[in-house]
Structure 1
């Protein structure tokens, strides 16, 4: 039985959908004002893995990920570059979609944008409705949400409204009724994008954009809302306030938040420049390495981006690929009872781990055990037919996690090259050149290849 950690209740809960067999899932996408970094990739990969597993469990997933394409940051960056803000956003959206494809992330069912006519119509309807119900007010062309009107404001982040407002002061010239009120519409400034409304020309606030896109694409209530844990407050807290005040219904059943990718002990951030772009990462690594980096950790915790963690991910990919190596030329068959049993148990163990709040590290552990069994059977002389079921299961389970495990062009000869080195080492050992033999073994170990010498001969495998 699938259980997910719900940020709002702070506990794992049995997953039950609003509509049987169907999942309505919304994930906050990027604000497109700069090149995406691997922290963005982490969040996208986390929810791609969640989505893939839900689909494996038989759910029909309506997956919505938005693009924030009008925002202060976009406008400021466009002004710096001397370009149109819409053109700036369009360029970064195109690049981001290409990165998602490179990372083998499934396309969203729909990618709504804040500036689309359908979204803007929904935004204006929500603001008008909130004003009519007394949850929002206008002043000088701006519109603000009254946080004190929402009795359970702070329920997601665990913050108390009175404590949040304690010591807060309305600055000179501030037009808000309360320092905690947040903008849902901003009066137009000269040269900025603007839309015509009954209360003046302007543009939407960030929080109302997501509420409107989610409402338009998925309805008044959804099953899963995801995003980085840096969005819990104020963004997601404000989404709840707006949406539930407007519809009068519960907005989200399960709030899921991923941790932050950390570089040098700090969260990656565009604003600080503490980041590695997706483009730079993919120039040096296979896309599977980025996914393995995420799979190795707990999606809710911080993820360290270090040389060590990347090397560990690379070695993990090599180990998984080793499970697909064909039977040896000398294979004549062997007792595969152990392999058959391991194959049967691995799928159940994998599902049990993933059902526990998408425990990918635990699921990988079971997959690696299967790889060890496959490699042991191959070394013992298992034929291609004897390996087939286990390798098919390996392909299926790694596919559920979104791993492609394909070889780069030219890398298909790696096994032949390693076999050649092992043969050379065997000749060296026959001549009792032990130091050279050990040197070859140690060099192969540095490459993640384990050598085992037995009475029957020498075998190798990826560690």
Structure 2
């Protein structure tokens, strides 16, 4: 039997062996995006972190049920749809498809379940009815609200006390609330807003009740792992616990796992600073695997500062791995080889990915030092089996190197806007690989207009100054 996975449980504030309802099965729910825009690097971090955790769980457990939701009804979605003059489904379908594309580029596997809020309105209404019947919710002015004081344990996840929250609460926010901490389960919709018929009139759900209902419908009353970003601890996950526990009379979740924030060059991402980095824009600068490795280079519970140097280091590291793998491309992978024990030990220790990456570098050295084909086959097999748990080194070496090398092959001093030139080269290479030759030719002409000629080589695109441009 495998050693237990130990995770830091936000609820108990300590690292604990993972407890599951059944010894051979684990259920995990992670809060996914609200789909009104493209995913940014902060959205990508939990997707990548919990993708690694799901890979580890699938290695250690016979059955894993991993659900990650889409919030597809929300005031920001309503505003975007109204501005475009289209139904909300037009907005949400567009950005769900874009999210799938971006996460696939980062090597994120599709979860077992991807529930959408709009597909669970009956379950949401039923859960609200249960909370009303049990005295934990009430109806006021076409709203249904959860009565926080009916659940004395409220605040355990975030470490906040009810009396302190009440003392700091604003009492004039909503006059229909019995207490300022009470939160909305159902709210009325005006004719111009999306809405569904309910016992309390036409309306739509509050944010917190949505996840509780989807969890109850797909995973049961008590789940093993609930994940998400640190910003969701309060109030979202705190409110989920209150709803689920009061509705079912059972613990809501055994282990809570939260990843920390992403900053950009030491600053919080914000529109006002203009530093919100979209995944699809970063994909114009670097391969998705490099972005993934950069996101994994800091432990998930520590803040991650995104910099150009971090991405460059990830790119260089992957180039080193794939160069070694290219030398043994003729060596057949052994079918029964398992991941490295020390790497597994690091992952089972609160998902210590930086420690696992350190071990991966040792495995690379072992491959480089192997002096017979038999030893090369074993070293290559262990390296690939181990890197698979991290979602890395999944590509053919030459394909990966072609994507990794373009920026390194480009002279950066000639152009007044080197970032633009790098972006054009990356877009052209992507178009060429997609066999969109018309777009690739157009981008080649644009590069020539900027003073560069691009040549396609086995190692990737090579950029050199046009003859007419002085060196």
Q: Shorter-normalised TM-score: what interval?
A: 0.7 to 0.9
Please, which of 65, 69, 83 is the counterpart of residue 68 of structure 2? 65
1:397 aligns with 2:400: no
Query: Which residue of the partner structure matches residue 257 of structure 1?
Result: 258
How far has the Cα of 1:405 moved from its partner?
4.3
1:74 aligns with 2:67: no
1:48 match: secondary structure: helix
How far has the Cα of 1:294 moved from its partner?
2.2
Please, which of 350, 357, 363 is the counterpart of residue 343 of structure 2? 350
1:104 aligns with 2:107: yes
Please, which of 87, 90, 98 is the counterpart of residue 90 of structure 2? 87
4+ runs deviating over 6 angstroms? 412-415
Gapped regions of structure 1 (runs ≥ 5): 330-343, 416-463
How far has the Cα of 1:401 moved from its partner?
0.8
* Mapped contact 2:322–2:401 kept (Cα < 8 A): no
* Mapped contact 1:288–1:405 kept (Cα < 8 A): no
Superimposed CA distance per residue, residues 154-180 of structure 1 (whole angstroms, 9 cap, x where no aligned partner): 010001111011043421762111111
Gapped regions of structure 2 (runs ≥ 5): 331-336, 406-471
For 1:266-415, list aligned pairs within 5 A.
Answer: 266-268=267-269, 274-326=275-327, 347-377=340-370, 382-403=371-392, 404-407=394-397, 409=399, 411=401
* Mapped contact 2:32–2:71 kept (Cα < 8 A): yes
Query: Which residue of the partner structure matches residue 237 of structure 2?
Result: 236
Change (3 A) 1:270 1:152: farther
* Mapped contact 2:105–2:289 kept (Cα < 8 A): no
* Mapped contact 2:315–2:404 kept (Cα < 8 A): no
Give the distance between the partners of 1:178 and 1:413, measured in 2 at CA. 57
Give the aligned CA root-mean-square deviation in angstroms.
Answer: 2.4
Change (3 A) 1:222 1:167: closer
Change (3 A) 1:15 1:256: same
Change (3 A) 1:172 1:22: closer
Count of residue pairs brought into register by the alignment: 396
Change (3 A) 1:410 1:260: closer
* Mapped contact 1:37–1:276 kept (Cα < 8 A): yes
Larger Rg: 1
TM-score, L = length of structure 2: 0.80
TM-score, L = length of structure 1: 0.81
Superimposed CA distance per residue, residues 214-250 of structure 1 (whole angstroms, 9 cap, x where no aligned partner): 1101010100000000000000000000010000000
Query: Which residue of the partner structure matches residue 428 of structure 2?
Result: none
Please, which of 3, 28, 32 is the counterpart of residue 29 of structure 1? 32
* Mapped contact 1:346–1:366 kept (Cα < 8 A): no
How far has the Cα of 1:269 moved from its partner?
5.0
1:14 aligns with 2:17: yes
Change (3 A) 1:75 1:273: farther
For 1:93-242, list aligned pairs within 5 A.
Answer: 93-116=96-119, 119-171=120-172, 174-242=175-243
Deviates most, 365-374 or 169-178: 169-178
How far has the Cα of 1:411 moved from its partner?
4.2
How far has the Cα of 1:291 moved from its partner?
1.5
Give the distance between the partners of 1:3 and 1:309, measured in 2 at CA. 28
